[in-house]
Chain A
Amino acid sequence: AQRVTQPEKLLSVFKGAPVELKCNYSYSGSPELFWYVQYSRQRLQLLLRHISRESIKGFTADLNKGETSFHLKKPFAQEEDSAMYYCALLDRGSYIPTFGRGTSLIVHP
């Protein structure tokens, strides 16, 4: 069965510091991975997906199949990055998504 693990419930950093939100997965096939973000009092929204290899709001995520990881990184955190971040994996056969438990990122001024 597919599984997504976000080992940190809470990550607290200062503005300007680098940020890495960890995501590890287990999946037998070739995964489709995503990061979602939920800002305070806002809806859950897609941040980025690995297939597009994009950088959104300064965030990037690289799929490492050897380590089965899809960590989200940003070199210089901003206060407005404070939010809840969810890593998700899509089963390409059934199209069933699996979400991690989420990591709350707090960026202090």
Chain B
Amino acid sequence: DSGVTQTPKHLITATGQRVTLRCSPRSGDLSVYWYQQSLDQGLQFLIQYYNGEERAKGNILERFSAQQFPDLHSELNLSSLELGDSALYFCASSPGLAGGFYNEQFFGPGTRLTVL
């Protein structure tokens, strides 16, 4: 167990809907990262937050947004959902600022989103 938790584990919803995925980092970790994993695209970095502020942005669609709260948990909001948004969404946390790769990233178990 990495100490990173994600809820819910599974989410089934319809096209056009909006969902919120939640991530709680390891105790003491200030950085949170979001990734999308799909059969089509593989593992794609979406966005990183450090201590409440956006740090790096990857291939995140405009329909998607994220934030990190004062207690350091993070939420990924996906709106106007499309069939192609069906994927496994991971979050990871790390102690550090420098992209987290100078400090090891600890991954959560993921949330499997199915859009019908």
Contacts and interface: CB of A to CB of B under 8 A. Distances in A.
A99 B2 CA distance: 20
Given A95-B98, A96-B58, A97-B101, A44 B107 contact: yes
A34 B106 CA distance: 14
Given A43-B108, A45-B107, A96 B101 contact: no
Contacts of B58: 96-97
A44 B90 contact: yes
Interface string B23-53: 0000000000000000000111100100000
Contact of B42 (A43, A49, A96, A99): A99
Interface string A44-62: 1110010000000000000
A95 B94 CA distance: 13
Contacts, number: 49
B2 to A, nearest CB: 6
A95 B56 contact: yes
A45 B101 contact: no
B80 to A, nearest CB: 25
B102 to A, nearest CB: 8
B50 to A, nearest CB: 10
Contacts of A98: 45
6 contacts: A43-B2, A45-B2, A90-B101, A95-B56, A97-B58, A97-B99
Given A43-B2, A49-B101, A99-B43, 16 more contacts: A34-B101, A43-B107, A45-B106, A45-B107, A88-B101, A95-B55, A95-B56, A95-B98, A95-B99, A95-B100, A95-B101, A96-B99, A99-B42, A101-B43, A102-B42, A102-B43
